[in-house]
Amino acid sequence: EAQVTQNPRYLITVTGKKLTVTCSQNMNHEYMSWYRQDPGLGLRQIYYSMNVEVTDKGDVPEGYKVSRKEKRNFPLILESPSPNQTSLYFCASSFGQGVNTGELFFGEGSRLTVL
Amino acid sequence: AQSVTQLDSQVPVFEEAPVELRCNYSSSVSVYLFWYVQYPNQGLQLLLKYLSGSTLVKGINGFEAEFNKSQTSFHLRKPSVHISDTAEYFCAVSPSGGSYIPTFGRGTSLIVHP
């Protein structure tokens, strides 16, 4: 089954404790992206990756890191989480250039609470 | 660059009534258009998309949308809603050439009352 898998789905952590949210897709997609969803603000893009070893900042990259060492994986790293990073996070993927229309395939979401 | 405006943050409606969720966009280039639905505690899934051709697009669960190029709109409609349609709906656009990175609206919460 074609899917985007995120882990963990739920996490409660404390300020400053480094954490990683994993994202994996099995559709051989070149494009991957991270969003955060907050009430009243919709979806805001954190980082995206056009292909392996190519990443770029989205609209709200501060406090986050990403890496794209393999095509299927795109982890989101919070080196020192703060309470304002409490949010619902989504990973999404898409086909690469040439066949891409911008249609995204989303994971189920990871709800993060930073105390 | 493009932008998307969803004119209503919340739309309450009674079951079996018709509904329209509004979406307007601005872009200096041609675009592809999408509606996504997010049911409670789930990720987003594609409802329908306009790439080219007929401006009336039909999607899943009885929804449809009409692309109006002159009014730069892509409103979502359903003639008769069900309780199960209660969800968050997102409109998105992406440029049809070059960068395909989509831009999302802020979402419209559809609340269907019995």
Q: Residue B101: what pLDDT?
A: 83
Nearest to A43 by CA among A58, A26, A65, A56: A58
Nearest CA in chain A to B88: A42
Residue B51 contacts residue A101 (beta carbons within 8 Å): yes
| Owner of token pair 């675009």 | B31
Write the residue in A40, A41, A107 that is nearest to B43 by C-beta.
A107
Q: What is the DSSP letter of B61?
A: G
Write the residue in A43, A101, A109 that is nearest to B100 by C-beta.
A101
Other CB atoms within a 10 A radius of the CB of residue A115 amount to 10
Interval B45-86: pLDDT, tens = 999 999 988 999 999 999 999 999 999 999 999 999 999 999
- Residue contact A102–B43, C-beta within 8 A: no
Q: What is the DSSP letter of A115?
A: -
Nearest to A76 by CA among A25, A13, A6: A6
Q: Is A34 on the interface with B (CB under 8 A)?
A: no
CA distance B10 to chain A (A): 10
Q: Residue A103: what pLDDT?
A: 87
Q: Is A55 on the interface with B (CB under 8 A)?
A: no
- Residue contact A103–B49, C-beta within 8 A: yes
Nearest CA in chain A to B39: A108
Q: What tens-digit pLDDT sequence spans chain A (115 residues)?
A: 889 999 999 999 999 999 999 999 999 999 999 999 998 898 999 999 999 999 999 999 999 999 999 999 999 999 999 999 999 999 999 987 656 777 899 999 999 999 9
Residue pairs between chains A and B whose CB atoms are closer than 8 Å? 57
Torsion of CA B88, B89, B94, B96, to 10 degrees: 150
CA torsion through residues A78, A83, A85, A87, sign: positive
Q: Residue B98: what pLDDT?
A: 66
Interval B9-32: pLDDT, tens = 999 999 999 999 999 999 988 889
Write the residue in B32, B90, B93 that is nearest to A43 by C-beta.
B90
